[in-house]
Amino acid sequence: MSNILEVKNLSFGYTKDLILFDDFSVSLKKGEIKAIVGASGAGKSTLFELILKNLKPFSGEINSGSYSQVFQDPYSSFHPSYTLLNQIKDVTSVDELEVILELINLDYELLLKLPHELSGGQLQRASILRAMLMKPDLLLLDEPTSALDNVIQLEVMRMLMKNLDTMGILLITHDMELASWCADEIIVI
């Protein structure tokens, strides 16, 4: 099976004196979860910015299939003056909306609200819903369950794991227990 993400010999830093990645490589196939863990400032979110091509590496190569992402702060993921449903419909089909709503334990009525009318956990599940509806090859998750209580966190991660036949997941987390539970490989940076 071919890789849906291939990062080869990546070198990057915000300055020549502050190198975050030096000859870093990682690959991911459908069906895999790889967790990126490390201290704050180690470059975990920067790696996602490089994969998303929002930053340009000094050297190396990054190739990926189609992707969607879930950011740590769900409030920054949605425009404040449009309903969640309209924002989801702007970027993807809602054909499987009801199925995924049930899987992530989110009520349809919440999608008719504005982002500030939801709790952080509800909004994060809406962000995961949107990412799943996009049917990516690669799902980039940056602390996706930090705003969720333990029960919902477990439900959401189980749901994501059930969809590994269609995608691979690159997960940033500070939660080593979560990484150990769900990841095929843990990469410490």
Share of the chain above pLDDT 90, in %: 62
User: What is the average pLDDT across 178-188?
Assistant: 94
pLDDT tens string 16-35 = 888 999 999 999 999 999 99
CATH of 3-188, one of 3.90.226.10, 3.40.50.300, 2.30.30.40, 3.90.1150.10: 3.40.50.300
Whole-model pTM: value is: 0.90
What is the distance in angstroms between the CA of the first residue and the CA of the last residue of the chain? Answer: 26
pLDDT tens string 54-70 = 999 999 999 999 999 99
Q: Residue 5 and residue 13: Cα distance in Å, rounded?
A: 21
Confidence category of residue 51, pLDDT binned at 50, 70, 90: very high
pLDDT tens string 139-165 = 999 988 877 778 878 888 888 888 888
Radius of gyration of the chain (CA): 17
| pLDDT computed for residue 1 by the predictor | 60
Q: Is residue 130 a contact partner of residue 102, using CB atoms and an 8 Å limit?
A: no
Domain ranges of the chain: 3-188
Map residue 164 onto helix, strand or coil.
Answer: coil
Q: Residue 171 and residue 153: Cα distance in Å, rounded?
A: 14
- For residue 145, with 0-12 CB atoms within 10 Å meaning exposed, 13-18 middle and 19 or more buried, which class applies? buried
Q: Residue 34 and residue 7: Cα distance in Å, rounded?
A: 13
Q: Which two tokens stand for residue 148?
A: 């969720």
